[in-house]
Structure 1
Amino acid sequence: MVTVGAGSAGAVVANRLSENSDFQVLLLEAGGDETRFTDTPAFSLSLIGTEIDWNYTVDSSSKYCLGARGKTCIYPRGKILGGSSAMNGMTYVRGNKRDYDEWAEMGNYGWSFEDVLPYFKKSEDNRNLTFPKDKRFHSTNGELTVFRYI
């Protein structure tokens, strides 16, 4: 089994696959090891545009990024162990329920929010004081530790 990308999701997937002794697992990451800067969320903005950033941008528009150079938004994505979490202040974001439901409506069966929610919960080790009490949406048993710094 090959897992491409050693970000939050890729690391959890590779770890879960490695639990099966019938599998040999290779985790590939284009970037290198984390540094003291990538391990400190306060430094996350200083990592944008560096060698650990894929340096993606989005198309220019007359509707967004109007104050940006060329009206083009930067789209920081991490090329490093830890993936984009190493660059985005370790922000944990699942995505928007409506997006998942729209993907399912477009024919991507199994991708509705209700379909993917059990997998979010299975991976999540939520250590916030209030969220884990909501058992419908959160879990404390997964491999991906989530907690609030502030």
Structure 2
Amino acid sequence: MSTRDQLERVRTLMDEQFAESWSLDDLARQAHLSRYHFIRLFQRHFYETPHQYLTRKRLDQAKYLLANSNLSVTDICFAVGFESMGSFSSLFHKTVGWSPSVYRARVWEQRRMPYKFIPGCFCTMYQLSPQANNSDFAQKSAILEK
């Protein structure tokens, strides 16, 4: 098995079990490499360290759960593999720009509110001006529905 295949296998394992508490030694052992050689090769092949990759996977899953579930932020923190609520919240804020609870509120608000942007093709099709606001859109929509 080539080194690339070994690294792919470990990355797949990390994808499937991102919530596990992986140590570098565990991951390197899975790839049959020394710890330091594993880090260097992983970064060379995937452009981020194993730790960065695992953290990104966990944050992506946390964003998904915040947007699509009613689990508490604390439950999500531990479900995706973080061991400390404080480190999760500060890392989430540093990476995303908002705290987990603000992120959830904004995503949910975005779903409730219609987009203010109306695509140009839609404007052309229904003779709306490109600068149409929501009231223009609502009036035209009401006419079209009749």
TM-score normalised by the chain length of structure 2: 0.26
Greater fraction helix: 2
- Give TM-score scaled by structure 1 length: 0.26
